[in-house]
Amino acid sequence: MTLRPALVVEADGGSRGNPGVAGYGALVRDARTGELLAERAAPLGKASNNVAEYTGLVAGLQAVLDLGLADDATIEVRMDSKLVVEQMSGRWKIKHEDMRRLAMQARRLVDAIQQRGGSVELTWVPRAKNGAADALSNVAMDGETVVRDHVRPASEGSTAETVSEQDDDQASVDPWSLLEIDEDEPDQPADALRPTFGDGRVPLSDVYVSDETVPTLEGQTRLILVRHGVTDFTQRHLLDGRGGADPALNATGMAQARAAAVAVRRLVERSQPGPLVVVSSSLQRARQTGQAIADHLGVAREEDRDWDEQGFGEWDGRAMGDLVRDHGDELLRLRTDPDFAPPGGETRRELDARVGEALARAIGRGGTVVVATHRVVLMSVLGRLLGVDSGRAWSIATAPASLTAIEVWPDGGAQVAFVNDTHHLYDPAFGDVEERPANVTIVDASRD
């Protein structure tokens, strides 16, 4: 059996000043032997880090196509830009028009590779593991251009042939040929035609794209809020508040907690160093979720009752369907009236007050604070930060074992980085557990 060709593209870019003097670097290797097949680098004038990183991606993919290496090949693109990897994978939105154009350009190259039977996968790697591409980008920022091919372009129906030295004519290759050019535009001078970013016509030296704050959590304080895993009450849609039955996680919930722990660890590893604290509410399901996270991170778990779920009083343990039937009007008030409480329960205003105090304590600690808590508590925090009233906050989804992240900056500004992230519950790398809800794969991350 003939193995499919396997390639690795390493790409990077940088800007000294952001925006400032910028350049990109990219290289192509044989994934099995590590043999270096191609190198690309070029200065970009004044540009942002994001522009340089995207251009490195484009250059690496274009090199694969130019050398005829795409046919039936599996290609892994490795970058230390979380922004580019997540945007190209479709998990993060692309807010800026210039970034959308660059992403479209890269996707067209991916399409071209796929049309030749190849496949492309983007992987985030730490900066320390992307040193070769980083070195090339620094060469480019120093003003040098590198276009080195260590194999000859494959002819029709043949494989690439190794060459010992660069052909003389390769040294004269214009690095802008790696980018899309529209030379038929009559109103643009030659220099302005080079980097057109898809259907746009913006000279690269004039591009300024401010960096987006991405979920690497770089604020002064980073809050990672984790909803607890499922209990039997959760799966039966029973109300379960402060002062109620306080059930434990079931087998599925424990697997969810372990998967969430792995996801939290990965997020923490990508964030700025600093103090790390894990806090949970006093309710058993949150304590167990928080303990799984704390154990995985190698820290102690703290407990704070102000992160407890809302108290539902006499409604605790009742099924939502029964409450709709028997107390429809009152149930609506629970969602919309901050001063309504079920008999013996807690009003939303009371919950908001104690959660606000817990939030202020967490922010005041600095570093990274992981909190294992509950759905209405999450709605309270997000409603407070986003200016959403208690009624509308019920529209915010926060699934069991989901992650929500918040950054707080030195000037007191806060930003919700992401909400309801559950990708870790569907990662086949961790395997499955035996007990799971129908049609949902819940992963067991204990082997990570």
Sheet holding 301-303, edge to edge: 301-303, 276-280, 367-373, 221-227, 403-408, 414-421
Is residue 170 very low, low, confident or very high in pLDDT (cuts 50, 70, 90)? very low
β-sheet bridge partners, residue 16: 21
Q: Which of 145, 173, 206 is the last residue of a domain?
A: 206
pLDDT at 188 over 80: no
Q: Is 215 part of a structural domain of the chain?
A: no
| Residue 411: per-residue pLDDT | 64
Quick one: DSSP state of residue 319? Answer: B
CATH label of the domain that carries residue 159: 3.30.420.10
pLDDT at 355 over 90: yes
If asked whether residues 131 and 275 sit together in one domain, one would say no
Instruction: Please state the pTM of the whole predicted model.
Output: 0.52
CATH label of the domain that carries residue 402: 3.40.50.1240
Is residue 87 very low, low, confident or very high in pLDDT (cuts 50, 70, 90)? confident
If asked whether residues 238 and 180 sit together in one domain, one would say no
If asked whether residues 24 and 141 sit together in one domain, one would say yes
If asked whether residues 230 and 105 sit together in one domain, one would say no
Per DSSP (E only), the strands in 150-258 are: 151-152, 161-162, 221-227
Is residue 208 very low, low, confident or very high in pLDDT (cuts 50, 70, 90)? very low
285 is in an annotated binding site: yes
Using CA atoms, how far apart are residues 348 and 358, in angstroms rounded to an integer?
15
Model confidence pLDDT, tens digit, residues 111-121: 899 999 999 99
Q: Which of 183, 206, 229 is the last residue of a domain?
A: 206
pLDDT at 357 over 50: yes
| Residue 442: per-residue pLDDT | 35
C-alpha distances in Å from residue 344, one per residue of 316, 326, 340, 390: 10, 17, 11, 20
If one compares 218 and 431, the residue with the highest pLDDT of the two is: 218
Domain of 49 in residue numbering reads as 6-206
- Note whether 74 and 6 are within 8 A (CB): yes
* Angle formed at CA 380 by CA 86 and CA 357, multiple of 5 degrees: 110
Quick one: DSSP state of residue 211? Answer: P
If one compares 287 and 153, the residue with the highest pLDDT of the two is: 287
| Residue 219: per-residue pLDDT | 53
Is 237 catalytic? The answer is: no
- Which residue carries 């790398």 as its tokens? 429
If asked whether residues 259 and 120 sit together in one domain, one would say no
Q: What is the overall mean pLDDT for the chain?
A: 81
If asked whether residues 257 and 144 sit together in one domain, one would say no
Smallest CA-to-CA distance from 379 within 402, 413, 407 is with 402
If asked whether residues 249 and 302 sit together in one domain, one would say yes
Is residue 45 classed exposed, middle or buried when 0-12, 13-18 and 19+ CB atoms within 10 A define those classes?
Answer: middle
| Residue 415: per-residue pLDDT | 85
Counting residues of the chain whose pLDDT is more than 70, the rounded percentage is 77
Model confidence pLDDT, tens digit, residues 234-263: 999 999 999 999 999 999 999 999 999 999
Q: Which of 206, 232, 257 is the last residue of a domain?
A: 206
Model confidence pLDDT, tens digit, residues 388-437: 988 889 899 999 999 999 988 766 778 898 999 998 887 544 443 323 33
Helices 131-141 and 49-66 meet at what angle, rounded to 10?
Answer: 110
If asked whether residues 301 and 342 sit together in one domain, one would say yes
Length of the chain: 448
Q: Is 158 part of a structural domain of the chain?
A: yes
If asked whether residues 239 and 358 sit together in one domain, one would say yes
DSSP symbols for 354-402: HHHHHHHHHHHH-EEEEEEE-HHHHHHHHHHHHT--HHHHTTS---TT-
Structurally, how many domains does the chain consist of? 2
If asked whether residues 156 and 23 sit together in one domain, one would say yes
The residues near 34 (Cβ < 8 Å, ≥ 6 apart) are none
Q: Is 339 part of a structural domain of the chain?
A: yes
Token representation of residue 338? 């901050």
Q: Is 167 part of a structural domain of the chain?
A: yes
Is residue 97 very low, low, confident or very high in pLDDT (cuts 50, 70, 90)? low
Q: Is 283 part of a structural domain of the chain?
A: yes
C-alpha distances in Å from residue 125, one per residue of 35, 64, 90, 271: 20, 20, 18, 14
Quick one: DSSP state of residue 141? Answer: H
| Residue 286: per-residue pLDDT | 98
pLDDT at 189 over 80: no
Distance, C-alpha 391 to centroid of its chain = 29
Element (H, E) at 44: strand 36-47
If asked whether residues 88 and 227 sit together in one domain, one would say no
Is 309 catalytic? The answer is: yes
Q: What is the CA radius of gyration of the chain?
A: 26
What SS3 state is found at 253?
helix
Using CA atoms, how far apart are residues 196 and 188, in angstroms rounded to an integer?
11
DSSP symbols for 392-434: HHTTS---TT-EEEEEE-TTS-EEEEEEEE-GGGG-GGG-B-S
Q: Is 16 part of a structural domain of the chain?
A: yes
The residues near 18 (Cβ < 8 Å, ≥ 6 apart) are 48, 49, 211
Mean pLDDT value across residues 111-139:
92
If asked whether residues 431 and 395 sit together in one domain, one would say yes
What SS3 state is found at 277?
strand
Q: Is 388 part of a structural domain of the chain?
A: yes
pLDDT at 309 over 50: yes
- Active-site residue identified among 10, 39, 150, 228: 228
Q: Is 212 part of a structural domain of the chain?
A: no
